[in-house]
Structure 1
């Protein structure tokens, strides 16, 4: 089942084997399936393991998903726009990026940013009268999906009229949530309920992932069958050393415990976006109490000598469309003695199996590390800080005054140099960019991260705000204090009001960035903010030049 191998230095291999034996003797896989919370911290973990059987439960609901797909197609919708954040948006994004648009079905798009340019860019892509809006929020209280709903519901009302607007919306949310009540009051076409015992980042195989999958025309039954096959391969009856999820989880946990906590993902281009989903799963599940895995996704590949002794490489290779350059790089890494896990993915539908493998492995890794793999205690801190700032904006019409370092300041290169001089072996550098997520912006940020990686031989990450707050943000604030953060903010060339609110999307994004930085500093993290002007592309180019000067 999706072949998995590992090549580790001898001492680390010895420790992995020892831990696998301990798991076998203590019956820990059986205890995991039995929902034994003492595998982790003995808190509420047993309440969050509904994902173990969700694939089978979804198969039994296939008729409803098929009816949904046919209804949406017959109604002539050309696009389906997922309005979500974190666990409610990342799995649909993976499916969208992997499978693309399927003939005869709507194209799925995803909005998970409060950046007004990004909101407007997605609005321009769709015909509002022919778009189905999927409001996706487990709790029903998450700020961003609620703002997206308010904005697009008002836009739909303007285009198709108040009586018909609700017919262009469906909701995915937990039973009894505020969103369920709003959806019913606004006469949404459908409300699909989540499973309360499944946290957002473990929800890919639940309605949060499978409803968008059905709408886009995916063969959901086939997808879930692959997930069920992996669940069977990870069953309690399977010897631990042959259990792919347990072996992967033990490997991740043991290597992190021995300083190799930068899980560097190398993913075949055709399934590249799986890395974004894995970022949230790994970081938010394990990054707490000063411990955790730091996922490194889409870092430009380099020769073995640019990587430090804190790396574990995981190569997810699509057998039907491998990349020769990735193959040669991974072979060189193994030859240089770096630890490498290889996972062979046979075809695109095997992503169903990967969703389960990695959920199981993450739960196991959390146990090995001794953390609760199902909570996110540090995410709330940023939300609280953001709420304080948005409340201030609603009262006064503005955010508190500030004087950030600007990209136009003459002292920029010197400030960057001083910040980067705090980097030590075993650290990582994360670029946190509160700008529109475009290919051009990402290319410049990737160039910056490559330069920093090659100069300091440390792992690097890039996150677009505010989406990373619901993903890697937990590990950045609650995980090992080895991060060096460069936050990038901008002025908004065009802002958008939020219907029914006294603030704008730009004000919300600014409050989220400030709240994020405030909590990073409060937690003793090394963080520097650089503010761009309204011309983001030009500002990023200037920043790149300053970074080059700063690092010599």
Structure 2
């Protein structure tokens, strides 16, 4: 057991105007005793319409206590695996099942690559990235199959192919499978039937994005060697401060500031790390904020940027609030500091409080299922092809890039890829945003991430970047349910070597493209423009796209040199 941990936690409202705007909401939260009521799991805090859902989603507030019994079991399981020579952890999971373990392992290692607690996070359907994970040393590999519902298509597909490859290499697959799921799911039943190495049931009264300190966050992290007992202690040390009905409660300050900014028109929250040491924390917070608040045509859009110097942060407009994870630098309006366990609990609490002030249920996700349903229909042939980007002739082929559009007749007749980008950006309203969605290999195609700062710099628009289909379990909710002022740049790529999914009528490549197409259809049905760029050659296509972004800015009228 770890010794008690002191976990200093602070939230600074650096901007005097924002602090003043938040003061009335702080007073309201304190007067209504919201922090202590939340600590007591009062499901009425978000109104009668949300009460039923909230009553089944509040166990996260005391996970620092209720998850403690897991520690001994996970320590023993890791010891058993190591005794068998198994020390490579691959995590098959999406959204809340992958984002927390990734930030936990990387933060405790001090690096996003390798380090003391290496973990391979497989939150993709890209056949190349899945093949890379399969190419590792299988003799040393355990697969953590993590799905709250037990039916996540990406995770099930990864489980199937790992089972096949384990067996083909003379390895008893059941001995290398650790399942994390809610009680009573089909995955739990399958794991029991096949005799998997371990079945660890998570608390069913915690939603995925609030599950960092449940089995979903702790199991893969512990198997990778993280001291998860210490992580729980950090949250426990912060809990009393976050449960006080006081104007200096950090969660009350943060929740009130986010809500005050949103209600004044700053519906975007730009997150930059300024030396917190919490590697990848912004990606975890992105899901928490977007899925919790982006619904009913309102909400907070998280924009994770590369640093406080990155486009979208220091040069932000009136539609955004800028927040540092770490000391306040670069014109930050809010700064949060604290240990990883404390920050998990801080942001969970603050976002729940902001939801109350904004007027939404922070625990449902009414628009997440729509893209999944569209994908299923495309895969089984029951959906309509009339609005499918993949089924129409390209409006333009510019070198290695095929250009298609959805969401109306806004594209016109572009002559170049730069023309198409100009047309997309022209559809963004003032204080709108650009969402870049890359259905590519997060490792081999990592250069795609340069598109976010380039587009933000050259258009002056807040710009997000998401790897598909991972973002569908994160900002995907906001895209359909939040403020409808986004334009969408969707990137797909040719598949050189596809990968079959055992006992399924589709491959990983087909699944990946169906997910892109299904999401594009749903976004277009909401009246938003989607520019679909298919890269016949991924490497050459990304170079061409980056060059086109630079060329397009000259005629958009939105170049930062003009608008800032």
TM-score surpassing 0.5?
Answer: yes
> C-alpha distance in 2, partners of 1:399/1:523?
15
Q: Secondary structure at the match of 1:3?
A: strand
Post-superposition CA distance 1:517-549 (Å, at most 9, x none): 00000011222111111x211101111122222
- Alpha-carbon RMSD across the aligned residues, in angstroms, is 2.4
Is 1:402–2:392 an aligned residue pair? yes
> C-alpha distance in 1, partners of 2:425/2:549?
9
Matches within 5 A, 1:190-229: 190-229=198-237
Is 1:435–2:428 an aligned residue pair? no
Mean Cα deviation higher: 406-415 or 72-81: 406-415
| Counterpart selection for 1:549 from 512, 528, 551 | 551
Matches within 5 A, 1:108-507: 108-124=119-135, 126-161=136-171, 164-235=172-243, 238-268=244-274, 270-299=277-306, 301-302=309-310, 306-317=315-326, 331-333=329-331, 340-345=333-338, 350-392=339-381, 401-405=391-395, 406-408=397-399, 410-438=415-443, 441-446=445-450, 448-507=451-510
Post-superposition CA distance 1:315-374 (Å, at most 9, x none): 112xxxxxxxxx7xx54425xxxxx111223xxxx2111111111111111111111111
Q: 1:40: Cα distance to partner? A: 1.6
Q: 1:400: Cα distance to partner? A: 7.1
> C-alpha distance in 1, partners of 2:34/2:104?
32
Q: Secondary structure at the match of 1:232?
A: helix
Is 1:19–2:30 an aligned residue pair? no
> C-alpha distance in 2, partners of 1:130/1:417?
50
CA contact 1:78–1:106 (8 Å) conserved in 2: no
Change (3 A) 1:105 1:7: closer
CA contact 2:337–2:343 (8 Å) conserved in 1: no
Post-superposition CA distance 1:408-448 (Å, at most 9, x none): 3643222211111123331111110111112x6333432x3
Greater helix share, structure number: 1
CA contact 2:41–2:59 (8 Å) conserved in 1: no
2:4 corresponds to: none
> C-alpha distance in 2, partners of 1:199/1:476?
20
> C-alpha distance in 1, partners of 2:319/2:115?
47
Post-superposition CA distance 1:380-432 (Å, at most 9, x none): 000000000111299x9x99733245453643222211111123331111110
Q: 1:506: Cα distance to partner? A: 0.3
Q: Secondary structure at the match of 2:487?
A: strand
Post-superposition CA distance 1:469-492 (Å, at most 9, x none): 001111111100121111111111
CA contact 2:295–2:478 (8 Å) conserved in 1: yes
Mean Cα deviation higher: 406-415 or 206-215: 406-415
| Counterpart selection for 1:518 from 508, 511, 521 | 521
CA contact 2:33–2:245 (8 Å) conserved in 1: no
Structure 1: 5+ residue stretches without partners:
318-326, 335-339
> C-alpha distance in 1, partners of 2:345/2:115?
29
2:36 corresponds to: 30
Is 1:72–2:81 an aligned residue pair? yes
Change (3 A) 1:476 1:399: closer
Change (3 A) 1:458 1:106: closer
Mean Cα deviation higher: 30-39 or 127-136: 30-39
Q: Secondary structure at the match of 1:530?
A: strand
CA contact 2:389–2:532 (8 Å) conserved in 1: no
Structure 2: 5+ residue stretches without partners:
1-7, 403-414, 555-564
> C-alpha distance in 2, partners of 1:444/1:194?
35
Q: 1:57: Cα distance to partner? A: 1.1
Is 1:7–2:21 an aligned residue pair? no
> C-alpha distance in 1, partners of 2:283/2:141?
25
Q: 1:154: Cα distance to partner? A: 1.1
CA contact 2:375–2:514 (8 Å) conserved in 1: yes
